[in-house]
Amino acid sequence: MLLVTKAPPRPLAARRPVRLLLAAGVTAASLVAVVPGTAQAARAEDGRPARTLTVAISQSVDSLSPFLAQKLVSTSIHRLTYEYLTNYDVKDAHTVPGLATEWTSSPDKLTWTYKIRKDSTWSDGQQATAEDAAWTFGKMMSDPNAATANGNFTANFKKVTAPDPETLIIELKKPQATMTALDVPIVPKHIWEKVGDFSKFNNDQQFPIVGNGPFVITDFKVDQYVKLKPNKKFWRGAPKFDELVFKYYKDTDAAVAALQKGEVSFVPNLTPAQATALGTQKNIKVNDAPGRRFYALATNPGARAKDGKTFGDGNKALLDPEVRKALFLAVDRGALVDKVFQKHAVEGEGYIPPRFASYFWKPSDSQKLAYDPAKAEQVLDAAGYKKNGDGKRVGKDGKPLDFRILCHATEPNDKASAKYLQEWWGKIGVGLTVDCLDNVSDPWLKGDYDLAFDGWSVNPDPDYVLSIHTCGALPATPKDTGATDNFICDPKFDELYGKQAVEYDPAKRAGIVKDMESRLYDTGYMNVLAYPNALEAYRTDQIASIKTMPEAAGNIYGQDGYWSWWSAVPAGQAAGDDADGGSNTGVIIGIGAAAVVVVGIGIALGMRRRTTAEDRE
């Protein structure tokens, strides 16, 4: 729902991934907030002016607790703060060691053994061990409030033990294809075992926050900034900048102005016009590459909870599949790519972007809802929604087909797309009111919407972005949140989800995932409009080089890993030798929207190689 890796409006993750979710609730004060510790004020440990890398963002942190966070900015920060068992290689996103140095499975795939590295130290000096990982997973298994963000990964766990500091053993109820793709931050047991209610603890009261990733969170102000400093004890080597600051701006216009003035180092999520203008300016480099997220229209399928109770005020006309079909037939996706994204996107089809070639799916010619307004009118006529004397479609109850659509006030693409939808749907007799809000999370979670602009950053392994459309992701009661994206609950989809989760053969699993995408497409509760490019820019007089992911023409912001900010080299400083993450990329290659980075996914018996969510996103 919110634009995510790993993801929904509390949640857009691939985190999550999974979700690129766009910000909600940023106040005007964010624009004038003074960030302590900028390059003008801060000093490094050796007394020289601190080299600060400042990233402008327009997304509000939903939580600094890795057990709750789903927005892309939050999960990206957690990738910088905590190690996961495995990571993704910066070059091609195949699985590489993280906290675990190696892993094996039993012949029946029901027992997995991970060797935990000896050289990972928590930022407070204590050793990170298998017991920390066992406690993290165990807490998620025993406490539903600790499974809010990543519970899909541990739902099938039977038992987790740490027989010694360097050995983690996970026993499963049935085979699980994501065992080398457990995108779960491992937290320090000695800190987190003191937490009481995991549903309310946001991990934002005491700083610095203890972690074992490349950075340590040192300060946080809601809708103003998150500050981090290098973890000098990080096993792969400390980052090269003295400080990393994520600074909040209400919109990208203000962020771009700050980039031009040198007040920030990097700006993501540019509009095509902004990218074009910045590309001609001195000391600014624009990165234009195939993205890892989708941009979609979501319809309210009738918000409900696991207890069977319905809630929200979604228009019941959208429960009619013929109405949904007609609406999508009256959407010109090609025009949106050309006019809204100015060709910096690929026309939407299946749920998973073409960047992930193994899982990319296209509807058949007979299945595809291509732009055909005349056919849309025929569908509505046949379904009994006739035009009245004013040209408005009305149902058998005499009520006109008038809908509302949730729009992110900070997202220019939403506003521009909404205008086209109003025009196209108006021609077939359907009304549309556009509700552009700073905070779309509240009405979304309450089910108080008809349609909404949705988007998620997709993980290399698609399990998470598939899980958010299962019945199990619904909230327990109307008062709860759940992990659902859009309240979709379809038994056939759930059946396919269960099959892909236990399938280790890469080709067979990819086939099942494509069947899931086909089912999601046919039910018509969600329609992917486009796969936007990653449009971002940075100052070359502040950043000498930085890694993209994939390394050949990939994105910088919202990666599946910590490579960009960990690798960034301050201007005027030599890059030096790198650890095993790939080479530094000093030049970002701009490529057209139609270009696709093909990333293969292979699964071996002991290790699954994956493409590069989420974000969560």
- Same domain, yes or no: 498 and 379: yes
Q: Is residue 613 part of a domain?
A: no
Q: Is residue 130 part of a domain?
A: yes
User: From CA 289, how far away is CA 532, in angstroms rounded?
Assistant: 9
- Same domain, yes or no: 406 and 501: yes
Residue that has been written with the tokens 């941009």 in this structure: 295
- Same domain, yes or no: 134 and 190: yes
- Same domain, yes or no: 378 and 485: yes
- Same domain, yes or no: 463 and 329: yes
Q: Is residue 436 part of a domain?
A: yes
Instruction: Check residue 560 and report its DSSP letter.
Output: S
Among 487, 511, 532, identify where a domain stops.
532
- Same domain, yes or no: 480 and 549: no
pLDDT tens digits along 386-444: 999 999 999 888 899 999 999 998 888 999 999 999 999 999 999 999 999 988 989 99
Mean of the per-residue pLDDT values for the chain? 87
Could you tell me the CATH number of the domain that includes residue 302?
3.10.105.10
Short-list 316, 282, 286, CA closest to 299? 316
Q: Is residue 497 part of a domain?
A: yes
Among 197, 220, 247, identify where a domain stops.
197
Torsion of CA 335, 336, 340, 341, to 10 degrees: -100
Mean pLDDT of 513-519: 98
pLDDT tens digits along 412-425: 899 999 999 999 99
pLDDT of residue 338: 97
Using 50, 70 and 90 to split pLDDT, how confident is the model at 575?
A: low
Our CA angle for 88, 460, 528, nearest 5°, is 150
User: From CA 78, how far away is CA 98, in angstroms rounded?
Assistant: 14
pLDDT of residue 596: 35
Q: Is residue 527 part of a domain?
A: yes
Q: What does 513-536 look like in DSSP terms, one character per residue?
A: HHHHHHHHHHHTSEEEEEEE-EEE
Instruction: State both tokens at 216.
Output: 């340590």
Contacts with 9 (C-beta within 8 Å, 6 or more apart), sequence order: 1, 2, 21, 24, 440, 441, 444, 445
Res. 600: pLDDT tops 60? no
- Of 510 and 592, which is predicted with more confidence? 510
- Same domain, yes or no: 416 and 362: yes
Mean pLDDT of 52-60: 94
- Same domain, yes or no: 403 and 521: yes
Mean pLDDT of 569-594: 49
Q: Is residue 508 part of a domain?
A: yes
Using 50, 70 and 90 to split pLDDT, how confident is the model at 42?
A: low
pLDDT of residue 412: 87
User: From CA 93, how far away is CA 549, in angstroms rounded?
Assistant: 8
pLDDT over 90, % of the chain: 78
Domain housing 178: 86-197
Burial of 550 (0-12, 13-18, 19+ CB in 10 A): buried
Res. 123: pLDDT tops 60? yes
pLDDT of residue 87: 95
Q: What does 78-112 look like in DSSP terms, one character per residue?
A: HHHHS--SEEE-TTT--EEESSEEEEEE-TTS-EE
Short-list 165, 279, 160, 207, CA closest to 535? 279
Instruction: Check residue 40 and report its DSSP letter.
Output: T
Among 474, 500, 532, identify where a domain stops.
532
pLDDT over 70, % of the chain: 86
Res. 180: pLDDT tops 70? yes
- Same domain, yes or no: 527 and 554: no
Q: How many domains does one find in the chain?
A: 3
pLDDT of residue 24: 34
pLDDT of residue 35: 39
Could you tell me the CATH number of the domain that includes residue 33?
3.40.190.10
Using 50, 70 and 90 to split pLDDT, how confident is the model at 266?
A: very high
- Of 153 and 9, which is predicted with more confidence? 153
- Same domain, yes or no: 466 and 550: no
- Same domain, yes or no: 193 and 211: no
* C-alpha dist (Å) from residue 613 to 16, 356, 457, 557: 5, 11, 5, 11
Mean pLDDT of 512-541: 97
pLDDT of residue 50: 85
Could you tell me the CATH number of the domain that includes residue 135?
3.90.76.10
pLDDT tens digits along 307-319: 999 999 999 999 9
Q: Is residue 113 part of a domain?
A: yes
pLDDT of residue 397: 84
- Same domain, yes or no: 384 and 302: yes
- Of 12 and 469, which is predicted with more confidence? 469
Mean pLDDT of 292-298: 95
Q: Is residue 396 part of a domain?
A: yes
14 upstream amide cis, omega within 30 of 0: yes
pLDDT tens digits along 190-211: 999 999 999 999 999 999 999 9
